[in-house]
Chain A
Amino acid sequence: MAKKTYRQAINEALRQEMARDADVVIIGEDVAGGQGGSAGVLDAYGGVMGVTKGLVGMFGPERVIDTPISESAIIGMAVGAANTGLRPVAELMFVDFLGVCFDQLFNQAAKVRYMFGGKAKTPMVMRSMIGAGLCAAAQHSQTLHPIFTHVPGLKVVMPSGAYDAKGLLIEAIRDDDPVIFLEHKALYEQIEEVPDEPYMIPFGEANIILDGGDVTVVALSNMVHVALAAARSVAKDGVRAEVIDPRTTSPLDEDTILESVAKTGRLVIVDESPPRCSLAADIAALAVTKAFRDLKAPVEMITAPHTPVPFAPSLERLYIPGADAVTQAVRRVLQS
């Protein structure tokens, strides 16, 4: 056991799975980097955020495959390879690039098994980077998990820390369905204790990060840290918030959320995506349809506004849900 960053945890999961299973290949833009450059080096990038650094040296360019900037071909190639015997981990560098490859995911990857009557499987992972906070502006900062979560046939994973990132990624690689693995760009330097040996975290099992009986706060990915900051803040007033990280949005651990709401009667959901048809709206609907009589206050959704992500740091700070807004929401539901 050692302290590792989220980036190192993901890299370690990839390395261990590639060493274990020769069918695991990495496909993406600059996952090594340097091909065709005048320096004649490989691993010039190791992924644009350095997540796949070192892997090409261990496994070679035939398993750490640098591609042209062709997202449809990257994702589709991973789907076809998965259907025929590989276990590809394709990288969509920024989740915003979904716009140039969506068909290959939602019409192909997600539907192959159902359309073909269960005769095909698609054991692929699409890793992608989500989230605001780095002033990357409107086309490099979105948090699009609701779009993937809406699509039957896809599984959606959003690790909030280094420990979960490793265990969930190993689970994703060994899973026989297409898995969307969303890494938050503001979390790559996050540090946790991460076991050296491989381990798996099952999908659909929420993590109760903080026990509490007064209010349930559900948050995902980077918003977990916002929720924890808010929980610490209200704790000074003696309020005990229960912070739940579902870890995967598809499948979603409804039971853990509903059990917590049954206990607290109060629900605040923190979601970095805009509010309409979001995961916040989805979990709110879950609570009012399945736990209406448990609720003692209206459900609060703390989300990004219904806008693209702005560039200016002052505006981006306003865009991202903050601990103050969550704290206020917790206080509101406690007053009802």
Chain B
Amino acid sequence: MQLSRDDLKEAYRRMRTIRAFEERVKIAFESGQIPGFVHLYVGQEAAAVGVCLHLSDADAIGSTHRGHGHCIAKGCDIAGMMLEIFGRQGGLCGGKGGSMHIADLAKGMLGANAIVGGNPPLVIGAALTAKTKRTGAVAVSFLGDGASNQGTTFEAMNMAVVLKLPVVFVIENNGYGEGTGVSYAVGAHDIAARAAAFGMPAHKVDGTDLFAVHEAAGDAVRAAREGRGPSTLELHCPRFHGHFLGDPQAYRSAEELQTVRQHDPLSLFRIKVTESRLLDSHQLDAIDAEIEAMIDRAAAAAASAPFPSPSDLIKDVYVSY
């Protein structure tokens, strides 16, 4: 599927929003404004955006502890996300979820999930709903290389093949599960091949290349929508930062830390679209400035918003209270 100029602008807008959001979250966290812990998606923007460009609000995604990028790519409200991460009233989950549990079901965002490998069974459930009710929707499970080793992932992959569910497993291989490298933790050294062994198409793609991700995801989403069953994409996309903010990354060499930013999905995108004269740098700069202002507003609003009221503690445990 070809990307129009408007599509390209939208792709860039979403990627830039993720980058700017995460950089602002980093500043806010380091200045003590954000409680708990956060996991930044910087470096992986092309993965979430390249996939979600194919999805509408009717399609579902499941996300991970590193979920801000998926939320933004899927259309979650930026101000509501920032409020949520700050733990404030008006957050997408009323301040009761936080960074690792942002959800917006109206947008088809079934939730960030802080259990590694927690979402694949849930996502195949959304796919079962689509299949049973014949909605034509698809469901996408975003997971990491770490989750690729979980039994829940294996079970969900096999179940999806057996029931021919409209689902795409998008494995973002960023090189590390916490502080342990993929070359150690993935016994087969090949996540896509392992997924293929379940009986579905599985491809390795450069996850820093928006165009490559978009093309591969287009095929996988189309197959799911047309009733041809599940697929897996293994996207290689190193994270720029540590596992969590504050991670000293003693497990990464100085050389790796210096070179990881050479594969910056935003820079790569900018070079491609400007060299091919599809967009010019002024247009991209204008998007940058617009997004910067939006993030400024969101962060300022979040920092001054009230915390949840004490009565929220015992609300929404059940439908009745």
Contacts and interface: CB of A to CB of B under 8 A. Distances in A.
A114 B111 contact: no
A155 to B, nearest CB: 7
B317 A114 contact: yes
Interface stretch (B38-46, B115-123, B265-273, B290-298): B115-123
B169 to A, nearest CB: 13
Interface in A74-99: 74-86, 88
B111 A81 contact: no
A63 B163 CA distance: 12
B132 interface: yes
Interface stretch (B154-162, B170-178, B211-219): B154-162
A92 B316 CA distance: 26
Interface string A38-67: 000000000000000000000000110101
Nearest to A103: B115
Interface stretch (B23-31, B98-106, B277-285): B98-106
The residue among B94, B122, B132, B315 with the most chain A CB atoms within 10 A of its own CB is: B122
Contacts of A25: 128, 132
A115 B126 contact: no
Contact of A117 (B62, B91, B106, B130): B91
A65 B124 CA distance: 14
Interface of B: 60, 62, 91-97, 101, 103-106, 110-111, 113, 115, 118, 120-133, 139, 151-152, 155-156, 158-159, 162-163, 315-320
Given A80-B62, A117-B97, 10 more contacts: A23-B133, A73-B124, A80-B110, A81-B126, A81-B128, A85-B133, A108-B121, A108-B122, A116-B105, A118-B94
A308 interface: no
Interface string A89-133: 000000000000001100110001111111111000000000000
A116 B152 CA distance: 22
Contacts of A117: 91-97, 316
A205 interface: no
Interface string A165-203: 000000000011100000000000000000000000000
**In the complex, the 9 A-B pairs of residues with the closest C-beta atoms, listed nearest first:** A76-B121, A80-B125, A117-B94, A80-B122, A118-B316, A73-B155, A117-B93, A81-B125, A70-B155
A85 B134 CA distance: 12
Contacts of A155: 318
B118 A81 contact: no
A153 B122 contact: no
B310 to A, nearest CB: 15
A23 B135 CA distance: 13
B162 A68 contact: yes
A284 B124 CA distance: 42
A63 B96 CA distance: 35
B132 A115 contact: no
A114 B111 CA distance: 12
A83 B61 CA distance: 12
A72 interface: yes
A67 B118 contact: no
Given A115-B93, A115-B96, A119-B104, A80 B158 contact: no
B111 to A, nearest CB: 6
The binding surface of chain A is classed by DSSP as: mixed
A63 B62 CA distance: 24
A84 B60 contact: yes
A84 B125 contact: yes
Nearest to A176: B319
Contacts of A107: 115, 118
A44 B123 CA distance: 29
Contacts of B106: 119
A313 interface: no
Contacts of B115: 103, 107-108
A116 B132 contact: no
Nearest to B156: A73
A115 B101 contact: yes
B110 A83 contact: yes
A74 B60 CA distance: 18
A80 B159 contact: no
Nearest to B133: A85
Contact of A116 (B97, B118, B120): B97
Contacts of B315: 118
B60 A113 contact: no
Nearest to B121: A76
Contact of B158 (A68, A82, A86, A88): A68
B317 A85 contact: no
Contacts of B118: 103-104, 107-108
Contacts of A72: 121, 151-152, 155-156
Contacts of A120: 103, 105, 111
Nearest to A178: B318
Contact of A113 (B156, B162, B317): B317
B158 A77 contact: no
B121 A77 contact: yes
30 contacts: A27-B128, A65-B163, A68-B155, A68-B159, A70-B158, A70-B159, A72-B121, A73-B121, A73-B152, A75-B121, A77-B122, A77-B128, A77-B159, A80-B60, A80-B127, A80-B139, A81-B128, A83-B105, A83-B125, A83-B126, A84-B130, A108-B118, A112-B103, A113-B317, A115-B97, A116-B96, A116-B97, A120-B105, A120-B111, A152-B317
